Amino acid sequence: MSDSSSPNIAIAGLGFGAEFIPIYQRHPGANLAAICQRTESKLNEVGDTYGIDKRYTDYAELLADPDIDAVHINTPIPDHGAQSIAALKAGKHVACTVPMATTVKECREIVEITRSTGLKYMMMETVVYAREFLFMKELYERGELGKLQFFKASHQQDMEGWPGYWPGLPPMHYATHCVGPVLGLAQHQAEYVSCFPSGTIAEEMHGCYNSPFAVETTHIKFKGSDLSAQVYRSLFDVARQYRESFEVYGSKKSVEWPLVEGEPLVVHTAKRPEPEIPERVECPDYAHLLPEEVAPFTTGGVYGGENDEDHLSHIQGGGHGGSHPHLAHHFIEMLRGGGDAYPNAVQSANITLTGILAHESALKGGELLSLPEWSLLEPAPAPEPVPALS
């Protein structure tokens, strides 16, 4: 690495990826060194806006640049696996937007390269750094949830009219936003899954992926634990507001994601009189966990001004719960020697393969399918929460 205290990072893909440019530019521990975009006009527009001199239309040329330490990939889903593998083979650390890849083979190759080289990989899963998730994680780590008993999560989104590879995509092929949080709260691993399909999408989409399913619902059994989780996902022909949700049920407290975007969380506290069990709680922000230079990005987009809310990640998903600066910060700290950020390569494979194998299970009528051994970390005791505050 050119300077371990300030790694040189390049961003590939400038649609959603452009949101991270000013975060890296303002972070005190990193240098935003280059950008890459196939369309030259878009590349120059973004480069001029943010004052970035190094610009590439050819991804291979970017990877050949010896000054680049790490690549943050924000390209279309079908490219994630191959581009991550190419970057790792070029000696670059990798952050990649979700999912990790679209095949078991690509996930395995990424894991094997990181294990053999020591290079770092982080899947940039937004939900596990969203303020709602961080609130639940704080309650868990303080012991306020008690014994964890069950998890439930969903990701529902209307993708009608989206171009390219989206029409007919099986719901569980892109399930990290609901699988990530159920595994991420206490960093469990999926051992095996069973998935049932429900309903059908428009017939003209059936042949796109040889899948007619409107909804897929998966049960996940956790390895080395008495816990399981339920996740469900829909993309077409289901009437539902955009929702990335996570719910955790504990013996002392449970927390449920709001049914309608923008409403408060609901916290249920055991042993209270029945009408007093639920309480609506406004979720706090977690900007205080970040360097002050990037903390404002948890509540404000990177575009600024009256157009700040125009980008899709703000229109749908509310800017992903303020997660973007947390993702960048954890990736940077990992590169600077702070240990693996969550999720690392093995954890990312476990999360991504949970969805891929779930769809295979749905095609087989709900058959139990096990996650491969290489997608599981070495056994370690589950983290114990500290006692609850009195």
In tens, the pLDDT along 10-23 reads: 999 999 999 999 99
| Model confidence at 3: pLDDT above 70 | no
Shared domain check, 306 and 346:
yes
Residue 95: the pLDDT is: 98
In-domain check, residue 99: yes
Shared domain check, 144 and 114:
no
In-domain check, residue 144: yes
Which of 99, 124, 149 delimits the end of a domain?
A: 124
In-domain check, residue 361: yes
Residue 104: the pLDDT is: 98
Burial (0-12, 13-18, 19+ Cβ within 10 Å), 288: exposed
Residue 310: the pLDDT is: 52
In-domain check, residue 333: no
Residue of 356, 383, 65, 331 whose CA lies nearest to 225? 383
The CATH number that applies at residue 247 is: 3.30.360.10
Shared domain check, 211 and 240:
yes
| Model confidence at 315: pLDDT above 80 | no
Shared domain check, 37 and 50:
yes
What mean pLDDT comes out for the span 88-97?
98
Shared domain check, 165 and 34:
no
| Model confidence at 380: pLDDT above 90 | no
Shared domain check, 100 and 44:
yes
Shared domain check, 137 and 118:
no
Radius of gyration of the chain (CA): 21
What is the CA 287 to chain-centroid distance, rounded? Answer: 19
Residue 336: the pLDDT is: 96
Residue 323: the pLDDT is: 95
Shared domain check, 190 and 85:
no
Q: Of the ranges 11-15, 143-147, 253-257, 374-378, which one carries the lowest mean pLDDT score?
A: 374-378
In-domain check, residue 335: no
More confident residue, 331 or 390: 331
In-domain check, residue 208: yes
Residue 300: the pLDDT is: 73
Residue 35: the pLDDT is: 98
Residue 384: the pLDDT is: 54
pLDDT above 70 as % of the chain: 91
| Model confidence at 388: pLDDT above 90 | no
Residue 163: the pLDDT is: 86
Shared domain check, 282 and 153:
yes
Q: E strand or H helix at 123, and its extent?
A: strand 121-124
What mean pLDDT comes out for the span 205-230?
98
The CATH number that applies at residue 111 is: 3.40.50.720
Domain hosting residue 132, numbered range: 128-290+299-320+342-375
Q: Of the ranges 61-75, 260-274, 305-319, which one carries the lowest mean pLDDT score?
A: 305-319
More confident residue, 388 or 97: 97
Amino acid identity at 158: D
In-domain check, residue 326: no
Q: Please, are residues 42 and 34 in contact by the beta-carbon 8 Å criterion?
A: no
| Model confidence at 312: pLDDT above 80 | no
How far apart, in Å, are the Cα atoms of 256 and each of 249, 259, 269?
8, 9, 12
Which of 124, 155, 183 delimits the end of a domain?
A: 124
Which of 124, 145, 161 delimits the end of a domain?
A: 124
Measured between alpha carbons, how far is 81 from 84 in angstroms, rounded to an integer? 5
Amino acid identity at 346: V
Shared domain check, 149 and 104:
no
Shared domain check, 257 and 148:
yes
Q: What is the DSSP code (8-state) at residue 382?
A: P
In-domain check, residue 104: yes
- 146-194: pLDDT as tens digits: 999 999 999 999 999 998 999 999 999 999 999 999 999 999 999 999 9
Amino acid identity at 364: K
Which two structure tokens, joined as six digits, stand for 201?
């999408």
Split into its structural domains, the chain has a count of: 2
Shared domain check, 233 and 357:
yes
